[in-house]
Structures are given as C-alpha cells and as structure tokens.
C-alpha cells in the first residue's frame, strides 16, 4: 500500500472541495485519512493467504450445526467508498473436520477489509469455509446498514440489507436451513 499516494490524493480532494489543506485543522488530515484507509482496507495489504485462515483444523465426530452469530462486520462499499456495518452469522455442518471459532471471525475480517459489495463478501466467506473444511454444508447470512444509502442518495435511515449464501445441506435440506434461520432469529 502506498500511504504517501493516498495522502497526496486526499490533499487533492480537499483542494477540489475548495478547502485549504494547509490550514491548521486539516494539516494532518491527509495523513490520518491514509492511516484510516490502511486499517479499514488492511485485507489488500495482508500477507495472509486465504488458505492459511482456516488451516488449523481438528478431526472431530460432530455432525450438528456449528454457528457463530452476530460477528461484527465493518467494510467499505466499493461504489461510494463509504462504510457499511452490521453483523454476519456463519454456520456449518462439519464433514469430519472443525476449525476454531475465532478463525471463522477472521475469515469475515479477511474479506471485509477491502473494497466490497455485501453480496460478494457473503459469498467469499461461505466459499472459503466450503473449500477449506469440506463440510456437509455452509450458511452465511449478513445484515448490514450501508451509509451510502442512509446518509446520502435516497437517505433511507434504518434500512438493513440482508444477504445469504447457502451451500450443501443448507441449500438442499429444508430442516437444516430452518434450524439456521431460527437460531439467528429470522424465523
Ligand atoms: Zn454504496
């Protein structure tokens, strides 16, 4: 990531807005904004490989649903570069391997911390779990508030966007799907 370039670019935005980037209050703003983007979009700079995220696995005879609910999500909408925030619910029914719960949360952050659309984010999380753990099924549901829709444009404050990606038993088995939806309070 080229921090200097982000700073220069933000200085141009300030100038474009008719502001004086050299006035006291704004002097360090480009630096702060660059730092903020490097944090919010750290996935772009990550040395982490997606294969490593769920690499620590345990063989376990457990064939019921494992659900991590209400995982906080902060991401950046790639169309407006404004944040969208909310929660992800991530569930799977294991094949013969399980992963640590915190690793599921890490998978969410790994994909959230880059320019995103919620639909793709939801799919990427589900597909990573599917590829890495070869479970019987995966379900990911996300509910997020998009500031590009609540503070600008049509200004629909309070509207929440739901997305889901269901794979394997979550898609084919109505009982599994219903259990998932009921556990996350959607039925
Ligand atoms: Zn947007």
Q: Per residue in 37-77, pLDDT tens?
A: 999 999 998 888 888 899 889 999 898 999 999 999 999 99
Cα(103) to centroid(ligand 1), Å: 28
Question: Do 80 and 161 reside in the same domain of the chain?
Answer: yes
Gap between the Cα atoms of 66 and 129, Å rounded? 12
Measure CA of the first residue to CA of the last residue in the chain; give whole Å: 43
Check if 113 is active-site: no
Residue 96 lies in a domain: yes
Question: Do 140 and 108 reside in the same domain of the chain?
Answer: yes
Cα(66) to centroid(ligand 1), Å: 32
Question: Do 70 and 106 reside in the same domain of the chain?
Answer: yes
Contact 136, 64 (CB under 8 A): no
**Mean pLDDT of all residues in 75-89:** 97
Give the model's pLDDT for residue 93: 97
Quote the domain boundaries for residue 162. Answer: 55-183
- For residue range 142-170, what is the model confidence (pLDDT) as tens digits? 999 999 999 888 888 889 999 999 999 99
Give the model's pLDDT for residue 47: 83
**pTM (two decimals):** 0.93
Question: Do 27 and 77 reside in the same domain of the chain?
Answer: no
Annotated catalytic residue within 118, 124, 136, 144: 118
Cα(146) to centroid(ligand 1), Å: 7
Residue 48 lies in a domain: no
Q: From the CB of residue 153, how many other CB atoms can be counted at a distance below 10 Å?
A: 10
């Amino acid at each position: 990531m080229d921090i200097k370039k982000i700073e220069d670019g933000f200085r141009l935005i300030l100038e474009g807005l008719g502001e004086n980037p050299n006035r006291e209050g704004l002097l360090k703003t480009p630096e702060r904004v660059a730092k903020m983007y490097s944090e919010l979009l750290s996935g772009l700079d990550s040395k982490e490989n997606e294969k490593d995220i769920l690499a620590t696995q345990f063989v376990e005879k457990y064939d019921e649903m494992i659900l991590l609910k209400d995982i906080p999500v902060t991401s950046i909408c790639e169309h407006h570069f404004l944040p969208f925030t909310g929660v992800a619910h991530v569930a799977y029914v294991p094949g013969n391997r399980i992963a640590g719960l915190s690793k599921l949360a890490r998978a969410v952050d790994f994909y959230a911390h880059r320019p995103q659309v919620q639909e793709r984010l939801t799919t990427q999380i589900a597909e990573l779990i599917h590829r890495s753990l070869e479970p019987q099924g995966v379900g990911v549901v996300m509910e997020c508030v998009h500031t590009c829709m609540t503070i600008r444009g049509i200004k629909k404050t309070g509207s929440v966007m739901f997305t889901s990606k269901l794979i394997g038993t979550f898609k084919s088995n109505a009982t599994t799907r219903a259990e998932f939806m009921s556990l996350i309070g959607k039925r």
